[in-house]
Amino acid sequence: MKRMLDRALYSAITRRWEKSAIDNYSKTMQRHETATPAHLSSALQRIDAKATGLLAFVAMMIAGLGIIAPLVAQHPIEEAIIITEISVYLLTAIGCLRCLSVLNTPEPVADRAAMRRHADRELVIRQELYRICHRASILFTILVMISLPAMLAWRPD
Span 122-135, pLDDT tens digits: 899 999 999 999 99
Res. 105: pLDDT tops 60: no
Instruction: Provide the pLDDT for residue 21.
Output: 82
106 lies in which domain range?
A: 2-153
Short-list 68, 60, 52, 64, CA closest to 134: 52
Determine if the pTM surpasses 0.85. Answer: no
Res. 43: pLDDT tops 70: yes
- pLDDT class of 107 with cuts at 50, 70, 90: low
Q: Are 110 and 79 in contact (CB under 8 A)?
A: no
Domain count within the chain: 1
pLDDT higher at 135 or 154: 135
Q: What is the pLDDT of residues 62-103, one digit of tens each?
A: 999 999 988 888 888 999 999 999 999 999 999 999 998 765
- pLDDT class of 36 with cuts at 50, 70, 90: confident
